[in-house]
């Protein structure tokens, strides 16, 4: 389903939003994270997909590959670590920012405990950052998080708490445990009285847009950007940076989420933060969220041009398209949530009415973001029909060609 946002504005970036999240703070986050061993030193690649662009009859199609952001395998390595860092600096303003994640203040932090709910990637990133900083970490997992993802988080040193129910239930349990034990919640979703840390998480995601602007030589990189939904943090972080950079010349933003986890779509209908209308049970685990982050909604309500929902099968098809490569395109490993933006584009281009509503034509330059690799390798193989390692081998061979 697709809905146009009648409140989307093409105006300079509002001062009200800049006071919350800005290019300046995103660049600061980028500098502070650059020395962390858990993150890649270089910008993640922006790959052109000329073969797929030709098949879709687009002028250009690019994909920013966040699967290479970190050994953790996703863009979440930008959010939780910088939020943890900023929280530590609020408690210890005299600490050197670049030394915190290097563990040089571990003795002072050894009794400090952070906690979060997660579908996998955020919790893994927080656990890795907490381990390197020297503090303790507790991660709350709901019933649908796979044992494979649980093992990956536990391997980073976190204590795991399992609950019945969905992601939103795990958020509630994390808040309860934090209040009971005096722990600090480090979440990517905001709620009443809790905005500073979710803001810091979103600010970290602005690093993706910072790199994109550099890789595009400062020019508007595209006419359309398809972004994953979830609670809205990724979209808000990327949109905020690009909106501040390009003002009224910003790209058209389309936010994509699962049919059954349509909290952003429902928020667009209500024009205020709303809950999903479905079961919130999707193969796109990172996007299976029942409630929008109210803070993220403040950035999305006047910037997103269209909100879109897709079926799980569409995400799987997009994963296979990226894995196949060919026709001049590099093979790419994209997880279930990672392929959602491309899935939205593919669905749109198969329907002339949808493509027309989105203004997609032969002059369109489209960007999608692969937000994760095969963070659950067995699920990836089931969906794609080949292993992630085999796709990466073909990717390496493609990159090695002169």
Tell me the catalytic residues. 76, 119
Rounded distance, CA 32 to CA 144, Å?
34
Strand spans (E) along 237-364 = 252-258, 306-310
| Inter-residue contact 191 to 325 (CB < 8 Å) | no
Q: What angle do CA 46, 49, 54 make, to 5 degrees?
A: 150
Name the pairing type of β-strands 252-258 and 2-4.
unpaired
Within 10 Å of residue 173's Cβ, how many Cβ atoms?
20
Those residues with Cβ within 8 angstroms of residue 173's Cβ, 6 or more apart along the chain or in another chain: 117, 140, 161, 163
What 3-state DSSP class applies to 277? coil
Q: Which DSSP category does 252 fall into?
A: E
Sign of the C-alpha dihedral computed for residues 335, 257, 33 and 105 taken in this order: negative
Q: What are phi and psi of 177, to 5 degrees?
A: -65, -40
318 membership: H or E segment, kind and range: helix 312-324
| Inter-residue contact 122 to 79 (CB < 8 Å) | yes
| Inter-residue contact 330 to 321 (CB < 8 Å) | no
Rounded distance, CA 215 to CA 221, Å?
8
Strand spans (E) along 247-384 = 252-258, 306-310, 365-370
DSSP 114-148: EEEEESSHHHHHHHHHHHHHT-EEEEEE-TTS-HH
Rounded distance, CA 19 to CA 297, Å?
16
Rounded distance, CA 107 to CA 101, Å?
13
Rounded distance, CA 200 to CA 187, Å?
10
């Amino acid at each position: 389903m697709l809905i146009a946002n009648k409140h989307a504005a093409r105006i300079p970036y509002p001062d009200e939003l800049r006071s919350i999240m800005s290019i300046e703070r995103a660049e600061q986050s980028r500098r502070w994270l650059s020395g962390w061993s858990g993150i890649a030193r270089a910008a993640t690649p922006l790959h052109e997909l000329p073969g797929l662009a030709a098949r879709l009859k687009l002028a250009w199609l690019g994909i920013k590959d966040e699967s290479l952001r970190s050994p953790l395998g996703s863009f979440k390595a930008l959010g939780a670590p910088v939020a943890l860092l900023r929280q530590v600096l609020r408690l210890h303003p005299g600490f050197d920012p670049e030394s915190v994640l290097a563990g040089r203040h571990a003795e002072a932090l050894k009794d400090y405990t952070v906690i979060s709910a997660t579908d996998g990637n955020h919790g893994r990133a927080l656990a890795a950052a907490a381990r390197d900083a020297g503090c303790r970490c507790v991660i709350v997992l709901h019933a649908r998080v796979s044992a494979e993802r649980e093992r990956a988080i536990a391997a980073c040193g976190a204590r795991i708490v399992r609950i019945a129910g969905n992601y939103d239930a795990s958020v509630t349990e994390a808040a309860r445990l934090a209040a009971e034990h005096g722990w600090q919640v480090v979440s990517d979703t905001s709620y009443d009285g809790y905005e500073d840390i979710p803001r810091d998480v979103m600010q970290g995601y602005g690093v993706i847009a910072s790199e994109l602007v550099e890789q595009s030589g400062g020019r508007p990189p595209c006419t359309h950007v398809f972004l994953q939904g979830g609670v809205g943090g990724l979209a808000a972080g990327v949109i905020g940076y690009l909106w501040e950079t390009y003002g009224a010349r910003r790209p058209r933003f389309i936010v994509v989420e699962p049919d059954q986890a349509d909290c952003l779509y429902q928020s667009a209908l209500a024009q205020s933060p709303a809950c999903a209308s479905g079961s919130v049970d999707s193969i796109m685990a990172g996007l299976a969220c029942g409630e929008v982050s109210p803070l993220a909604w403040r950035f999305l309500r006047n910037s997103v041009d269209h909100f879109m929902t897709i079926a799980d099968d569409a995400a799987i098809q997009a994963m296979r398209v990226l894995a196949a490569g060919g026709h001049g395109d590099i093979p790419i490993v994209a997880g279930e949530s990672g392929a959602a933006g491309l899935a939205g584009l593919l669905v749109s281009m198969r329907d002339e009415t949808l493509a027309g509503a989105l203004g997609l034509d032969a002059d369109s330059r489209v960007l999608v973001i692969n937000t994760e690799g095969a963070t659950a390798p067995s699920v990836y193989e089931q969906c794609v029909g080949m292993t992630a390692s085999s796709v990466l081998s073909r990717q390496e061979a493609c990159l090695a060609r002169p």
